[in-house]
Structure 1
Amino acid sequence: MLKHALEDFFHYLTVERGLSENTIKSYQRDLRQYGNFLDDSFSINDWDEVSRSHIMQYMYHLTDEGRSSATIARLLSSLRLFHQFLVREKLSSHDPSLHIETPKKERKLPKVLSMAEVDKLLNLQGNDPLTIRNRAMLEMLYATGLRVSELVSLKVTDLHLTMGFVRCFGKGAKERIIPLGDMAKEAVEDYLNRSRPSLLKKKQTEELFVNHHGNSLSRQGFWKILKAVARDVGIQKPITPHTLRHSFATHLLENGADLRAVQEMLGHADISTTQVYTHVSKTRLKDVYRSYHPRA
């Protein structure tokens, strides 16, 4: 009974909500773990038997396991959505997750690259097909703030180089249009003219970026490329694809961009998610002040 309702919920997320495969996997992991806890600890056979007390005990269990408040908040969000679904589909008569407070997250400031580090990363030397492709991908990521999953999902038809923008489909299949700077446009045009035909080896694919076999590039493949490039150009700090997204947002705000415009480009549903970058900007301003003001 428990498993049937879970499968119905995952089907709902896929078909009706149109969530990405990675997001659905995250819900599956969270809720199967939750279901296993209820089954092992209380031998619950029906979702209607679940009470607020059961969920609170699950929260305490997660805390005892050493889970962070951010992880617990995410898990609670997953099971809230699930219990709302159960009530709506009349698979349960009540929502036991109501009135349970979300643990306060420790707001960690995102790690960003300095302008000098960005220049190092983007100024790749070499004219072989893979270097041209890597230069285009990195320019695109820094110019647009795309998530890595969005970058590797881009199709050639999503490019509008003459108009200077790229179209992407983010979380929940929401479409957004993002401007593309001149340097990114040049790098992508170079890739399309001199690198992609060579990498494709006469294969046909609609994906924009391909690997050395001519197949679509995976998220893991891009991650490896980024780490290798960062190492080769001498960037010491840990770097992930999201570091470039964070840097894109922070550098825009530092140079006077409007917060709402940055929110739109990043594809954030809630502006409070974007506001973390204003804290990064303020922190860096304080560092500059302390370093250079004679009486700081």
Structure 2
Amino acid sequence: MDHDERTRLPEPLARAAHGFERYLAAERGRSPHTVRAYRGDVDALLIHAVTEGVTTLDGLDLSMLRRWLGDQSEAGMSRSTLARRTATARSFTAWALREELLKVDPALRLKAPKQDHALPAVLQQQQIRRLMAALREAAAGGDPLALRDHAMVELLYATGIRVGELTGTDVDGLNRERRTLGVVGKGNKERVVPYGVPAATAAERWLATGRPALATDRSGPALFLGKRGGRIDQRTVRTVVGHVFGALGDTSATGPHTLRHSAATHLLDGGADLRAVQEILGHSSLATTQLYTHVSVERLREGYRQAHPRA
């Protein structure tokens, strides 16, 4: 908002906005960037108030504040921006009440709109097949790091475990007869997750020839090792997965969590029970797992829109 727009505010409103700006900078110690953002939100609110005939702060009321947010929502403003503007309005009126510029706080019952819950990125099954084929080909020559990367990505997708769970896993966490992996998740909760034949094959090759080539005295029981022999860290895993996704060429996915999202979605697409997927992922709440049902439904809708002649 430029200077000309600010000067259109009646003097009592302009004075209040400037006082709030000083308060944020001097008393709250907010950064210049934050102060500018808050000041812009307050100016937008007060200019809207002026269009409704308000000339002093006492003219602000809850209905007007809701109309202000409603107009912006209808104009397509994102929910995150609306939430920030709601917070700004509440901070501004609370400050004005403390400064005795208001007799009552009109924003006490002003609620921020609920945040959008973005659906997680998910790879298509054919992308997974291409990704694994490329890793398998790279590992065919027996390079220890290539064998490790293939086994890590296979296990991440096969089990849906978090990257921190992978890096914390020891060799004896693999039950090679039952094809299960024991991990310690959030809250130090232990769980056992199954994995399939492709992941088992990749893990066996890693343990047979890849890990021994990298192992040193500092390796300990770690299942996966860095190039210097120590337990692999999360940054290295993220870098490996990022490079693998980049080689696909048709996805914006960047991190290991996409493999977890993809595993969950593909399980549900294949008819897996929601409670079983909850157990596999280690979610404490079924509501968290249910997010993946929305992903599955959205994929179904997209397929319908593309394929049905009367969609």
What range describes the TM-score normalised by the shorter chain of this pair? 0.5 to 0.7
Cα distance change of structure 1 residues 182 and 261 upon mapping to structure 2, 3 Å threshold: same
1:294 Cα deviation after fit: 2.1
CA distance in 1, matches of 2:192, 2:113: 35
Q: Counterparts in 2 of 1:245-284, with a 5 A limit?
A: 245-284=260-299
Task: State the superposition RMSD in angstroms.
Answer: 3.0
Asked if 1:106 corresponds to 2:116, the answer is yes
Deviation at 1:104, TM superposition (A): 2.7
Contact 2:174 2:180 in 1 (8 A): yes
TM-score normalised according to structure 2 size: 0.62
Matched letter for residue 118 of structure 1? I
Residue 216 of structure 1: which of 231, 236, 251 is its match?
A: 231
Report the counterpart of residue 65 of structure 2 in structure 1: none
CA distance in 1, matches of 2:126, 2:153: 15
- Residue 110 of structure 1 aligns to a residue in which SS? coil
1:148 and 2:163 aligned: yes
* Inter-partner Cα distance in structure 2 for 1:237 and 1:108: 15
1:198 maps to: 213
Identify which of 252, 256, 262 aligns with 1:237. Answer: 252
Q: Tell which structure's C-alpha radius of gyration is larger.
A: 2
| Cα distance in 2 between the residues matched to 1:209 and 1:136 | 9
Structure 2 counterparts to residues 63-212 of structure 1, below 5 A: 68=80, 104-123=114-133, 124=135, 125-126=137-138, 127-201=142-216, 203-212=218-227
1:68: how far off? 4.5
Distance 1:41 1:283 in 2: 44
**Residue in 2 aligned with 1:32?**
none
In 2, distance between residues paired with 1:177 and 1:216? 21
Which consecutive residues of structure 2, in runs of 5 or more, have no partner in the other structure? 1-23, 30-37, 42-77, 85-109
One-letter code aligned to 1:209: F
CA distance in 2, matches of 1:204, 1:171: 24
Q: Which string of whole-angstrom CA distances, capped at 9 and with x for unpartnered residues, describes residues 47-103 of structure 1?
A: xxxxxxxxxxxxxx8xx7x9959x99xxxxxxxxxxxxxxxxxxxxxxxxxxx9897
CA distance in 2, matches of 1:287, 1:236: 17
Once the two structures are TM-superposed, the CA of residue 231 in structure 1 deviates from its matched residue by: 2.1
For 1:103 and 1:173, the matched residues in 2 are separated by 34
Counterpart residue identity of residue 286, structure 1: R
Q: CA deviation at 1:161?
A: 1.1
Displacement of 1:184 after TM fit? Answer: 0.7
Distance, in Å, in 2 between the alignment partners of 1:251 and 1:277 is: 9
Quick one: which amino acid aligns to residue 287 of structure 2? S
Deviations 1:259-289 (A, max 9, x none): 0000111111110111010011001101111
Change (3 A) 1:204 1:284: closer
**Matches of 2:163 and 2:233 in 1, distance apart?**
9
Q: Which of structures 1 and 2 has the larger relative contact order (alpha carbons within 8 angstroms, sep 6+)?
A: 1
Question: 2:124 corresponds to which letter in structure 1?
Answer: S
Asked if structure 1 preserves the Cα contact closer than 8 Å seen for 2:216 and 2:230, the reply is no
Count the aligned residue pairs.
215
SS in 2 for 1:275: helix
Q: Is the contact between residue 79 and residue 114 of structure 2 (CA under 8 Å) also seen in structure 1?
A: no
- Aligned counterparts of 1:240 and 1:212: Cα–Cα separation in 2: 20
Residues in 1 aligned to 2:252 and 2:130: alpha-carbon distance in whole angstroms:
13
Counterpart of 2:263, as a letter, is F
Q: Which amino acid aligns with 1:104?
A: K
Of all paired residues, the percent bearing the same amino acid is 43
Where structure 1 has 5 or more consecutive residues not aligned to the other structure, the ranges are 1-36, 43-60, 73-99
Q: Deviations over 1:153-172 (max 9, x none)?
A: 11111111111101111000
